[in-house]
């Protein structure tokens, strides 16, 4: 159904992500670095939290302080939490009209093409700059269907406050892991979406996250509830300019897919290569519901990212399509998790991983089929392509089946770019660099096909950008 919104878009400028805007003290409020009780309380006050949220934050900080770092996955030794600022905010507040967004911030989003995308192909847009949303708008006809799409802070105080409280960090409890606890303590920004029963949102909603401040953390919270029989496509994009100090992204995404509802969640992540992306995403799917993930991970210095789906209801389904491109200095540990609880549930995980220039790409997954999940089906396939001999690609699949009555297939392939294929393409007049990019794009094609066209174009440009130079 999303095919009909595909439009052609101009190629992106290759340098488009790496521009900086000075943040002056006059225009920005910046919390001091580190994570202490005082800082968490200040953030809570600044955000005018309801009392329960203030208590929740402090409880989370406690959990954070008492939890160990993950003892698996890529190193995070260079991430000094005492140097990360939890909260950076423009002093102007959130706007519902691009014209009211401060000039420098607006320029940033203009360069990223967000306002144009909104005009052309989106039902609603949220734009977060550092810790807070600076812009939020949803098209009238979509709002008229009863669809709620607001910044998280408004949601906490508005008509849906109870619904938010009922769901907030229930799917990803703060005890889940250290960074989930940290997120609970200092979360800021993000979106709340509610699609009422039976409402089908024909065109996607999008949130764009831009972390502009050096040495800052971004901790946005996204909560989406798609009620019975409803249908939504949500897109998130992320980018940041490159700094020499570490930045941290520890967002949290909680998705509730109701009975016979469908949610597609697409992400193109291009954080700068000083970013630690320790993000948590989880979906709960009721009977007959469908959860679709499309995920492109290109940026960050280190990523831990495994969107998880709990197939709770009978006949619920999930499909995960992901691609990871690990270049020089990057260690990207990505994959997917799924838990089958309901009967006749099915999951398909298909991932592609590309590593180049010493980059490390690890596919890590976990598929659990619990004893009640009779007649369930899981198919996992992961392909890796290493572009040179100094890069690494690992596959770590975990499969745990607790019923005799399940059908599970797993296939993994690791390969290198074939010199013969490069020669073949070059013999038709194609330059070596283009031939390699063509092979890599072709490898990524099953994922690009799942993306809205403008994102597919962006992804192909990112691949070309990654492929150019030192070939």
Partner 1 sequence: MSEQNLLQVSDLSVSVDEMQILHKLNLKVNPGETHVLMGPNGAGKSTLGNTLMGNPNYVVNEGKIIFDGQDITNLSTDKRAAAGMFMSFQNPLEVPGISLSAFIRNAIHSQTGKPIKLLAYKKLLESTMELLNMDPSYADRDLNVGFSGGEKKKAEILQLLMLSPRLAILDETDSGLDVDAVRTVSKGIEEYQKRENGALIIITHSTKILESLHVDHTHVLVKGELVASGDGSLVEEINANGFERFIKD
Provide the binding-site residues for partner 1, judged by CB under 8 A: 418-421, 423-432, 434-435, 438-439, 441-446
Which residue's CB is nearer to partner 1, number 253 or number 387? 387
Which residue's CB is nearer to partner 1, number 24 or number 427? 427
Q: Compute the least distance from the CB of residue 282 to partner 1, in Å.
A: 31
Which residue's CB is nearer to partner 1, number 16 or number 430? 430
Q: Compute the least distance from the CB of residue 443 to partner 1, in Å.
A: 6
Q: Compute the least distance from the CB of residue 453 to partner 1, in Å.
A: 15
Which residue's CB is nearer to partner 1, number 18 or number 411? 411
Number of Cβ atoms within 10 Å of the Cβ of 435? 21
Which residue's CB is nearer to partner 1, number 416 or number 431? 431
Which residue's CB is nearer to partner 1, number 79 or number 425? 425
45-78 burial: b if 16+ Cβ within 10 Å, else e: eebebeeebbebbeebbebbeebeeeeebbebee
DSSP assignment of 412-425 equals: EEEEE--HHHHHHH
| CA separation for the pair 262, 260 (Å, rounded) | 7
Q: Please give the backbone phi and psi of residue 402, each rounded to the nearest 5 degrees, phi first.
A: -115, 20
Q: Compute the least distance from the CB of residue 383 to partner 1, in Å.
A: 10
Beta strand residue intervals within 392-471, DSSP E: 392-401, 406-416
Q: Compute the least distance from the CB of residue 167 to partner 1, in Å.
A: 39
Task: Give the tokens for residue 442.
Answer: 């072709």
Q: Compute the least distance from the CB of residue 326 to partner 1, in Å.
A: 19
Helices and strands in the chain: count of H runs, count of E runs: 11, 25
- Coil, helix or strand for 98? helix
Q: Compute the least distance from the CB of residue 423 to partner 1, in Å.
A: 5
**406-416/205-210 β-pairing:** unpaired
Question: Nearest 5 degrees, angle CA 301-CA 135-CA 146?
Answer: 110
Which residue's CB is nearer to partner 1, number 133 or number 439? 439
Do residues 351 and 379 touch, judged by C-beta distance below 8 A?
A: no
């Amino acid at each position: 159904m999303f095919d009909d919104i595909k439009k052609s878009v101009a190629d992106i400028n290759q340098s488009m992500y790496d521009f900086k805007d000075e943040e002056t003290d006059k225009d920005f409020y910046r919390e001091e670095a580190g994570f202490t009780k005082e800082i968490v309380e200040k953030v809570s006050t600044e955000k005018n939290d309801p009392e329960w949220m203030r208590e929740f934050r402090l409880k989370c900080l406690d959990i954070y302080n008492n939890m160990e770092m993950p003892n698996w996955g890529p190193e995070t030794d260079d991430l000094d939490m005492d140097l990360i600022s939890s909260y950076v905010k423009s002093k102007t507040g959130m706007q519902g009209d691009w014209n009211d967004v401060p000039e420098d911030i607006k320029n940033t989003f203009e360069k990223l093409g967000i306002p144009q995308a909104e005009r052309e192909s989106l039902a609603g847009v949220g734009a977060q700059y550092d810790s807070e949303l600076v812009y939020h708008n949803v098209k009238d006809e979509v709002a008229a269907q009863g669809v709620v799409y607001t910044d998280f802070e408004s949601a906490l105080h508005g008509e849906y406050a109870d619904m938010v409280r009922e769901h907030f960090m229930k799917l990803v409890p703060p005890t889940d892991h250290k960074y989930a606890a940290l997120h609970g303590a200092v979360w800021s920004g993000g979106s709340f979406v509610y699609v009422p029963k039976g409402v089908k949102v024909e065109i996607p909603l999008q949130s764009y996250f831009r972390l502009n401040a050096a040495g800052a953390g971004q901790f946005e919270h996204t909560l989406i509830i798609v009620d019975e029989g409803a249908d939504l496509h949500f897109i998130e994009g992320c980018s940041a300019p490159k700094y020499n100090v570490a930045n941290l992204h520890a967002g949290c995404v909680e998705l509730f897919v109701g009975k016979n509802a469908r949610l597609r969640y697409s992400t193109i992540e291009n954080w700068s290569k000083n970013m630690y992306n320790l993000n948590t995403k989880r979906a709960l799917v009721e009977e007959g519901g469908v959860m679709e993930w499309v995920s492109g991970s290109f940026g960050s210095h280190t990523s831990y990212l495994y969107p998880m789906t709990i197939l709770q209801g009978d006949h619920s389904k999930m499909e995960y399509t992901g691609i990871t491109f690990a270049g020089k200095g990057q260690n990207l540990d990505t994959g997917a998790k799924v838990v089958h609880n309901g009967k006749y549930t099915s999951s398909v995980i298909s991932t592609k991983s590309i590593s180049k220039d010493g980059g490390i790409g690890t596919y890590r997954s976990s598929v659990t089929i619990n004893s009640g999940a009779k007649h369930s089906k899981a198919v996992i396939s992961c392909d890796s392509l290493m572009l040179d001999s100094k890069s690494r690609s690992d596959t770590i699949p975990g499969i745990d089946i607790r019923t005799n009555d399940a059908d599970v297939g797993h296939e993994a392939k690791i390969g290198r770019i074939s010199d013969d294929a490069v020669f073949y393409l070059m013999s038709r007049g194609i330059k070596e660099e283009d031939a390699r990019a063509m092979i890599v794009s072709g490898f990524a094609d099953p994922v690009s096909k799942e993306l809205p066209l403008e994102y597919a174009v962006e992804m192909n440009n990112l691949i070309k950008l990654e492929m150019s130079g030192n070939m």
